[in-house]
């Protein structure tokens, strides 16, 4: 299981019953809990980010341009309490349209974001 998935499972799966209860009965608390869970997951992802060292090894191994810049972002987090019915826990705010920055060397975030939905 990829590291990012494990991090989200740690925060989201442990709180699925509360999230579902809040989604049904207290949308404000659902939003607040979702924000706290996503903030915690994003912090852990930032601390554990190893893409820099992985890309460095790839660049070195294949003789690629050492000036490669990249940005690692989370664009959305959704949960489903029923099959194919997703509820958003996180989507980018207008001040951060590219999403929550996890890591990278990209200085500006005006580059094309992939994959687009």
Q: Would you place residue 87 in the very low, low, confident or very high pLDDT band (cuts 50, 70, 90)?
A: very high
pLDDT at position 2: 57
Helices (H) and strands (E) in the chain, counts: 4, 4
- Asked if the model's pLDDT at residue 115 lies above 70, the reply is no
Q: Is residue 21 part of a domain?
A: yes
Q: Is residue 59 part of a domain?
A: yes
pLDDT at position 112: 55
Residue 86's CB is within 10 A of a number of other CB atoms, namely: 12
Number of domains in the chain: 1
Q: Is residue 33 part of a domain?
A: yes
Based on C-alpha coordinates, what's the Rg of the chain?
A: 17
Q: Is residue 111 part of a domain?
A: no
Residues 6+ away with beta carbon under 8 Å from 73? 98, 99, 100, 101, 102, 109, 113
For residue range 14-73, what is the model confidence (pLDDT) as tens digits? 999 999 999 999 999 999 999 999 999 999 999 988 888 888 898 899 988 888 888 888
Q: Is residue 43 part of a domain?
A: yes
Q: Is residue 113 part of a domain?
A: no
Q: Is residue 110 part of a domain?
A: no
Structural domain boundaries, residue 91: 3-104
Q: Is residue 38 part of a domain?
A: yes
pLDDT at position 1: 42
* pTM over the 0.75 mark: yes
């Amino acid at each position: 299981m990829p590291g990012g998935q494990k991090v989200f499972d740690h925060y989201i799966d442990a709180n699925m019953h509360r999230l579902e209860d809040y989604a049904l009965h207290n949308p404000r608390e659902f939003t607040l809990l979702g924000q706290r869970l996503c903030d915690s997951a994003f912090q852990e992802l930032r601390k554990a980010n190893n893409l820099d060292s992985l890309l460095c090894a790839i660049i070195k191994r294949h003789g690629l341009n050492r000036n490669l810049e990249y940005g690692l972002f989370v664009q959305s987090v959704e949960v489903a309490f029923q099959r194919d019915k997703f509820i958003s826990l996180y989507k980018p705010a207008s001040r951060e349209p590219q999403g929550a920055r996890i890591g990278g060397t990209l200085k500006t975030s005006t580059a094309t974001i992939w994959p687009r939905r």
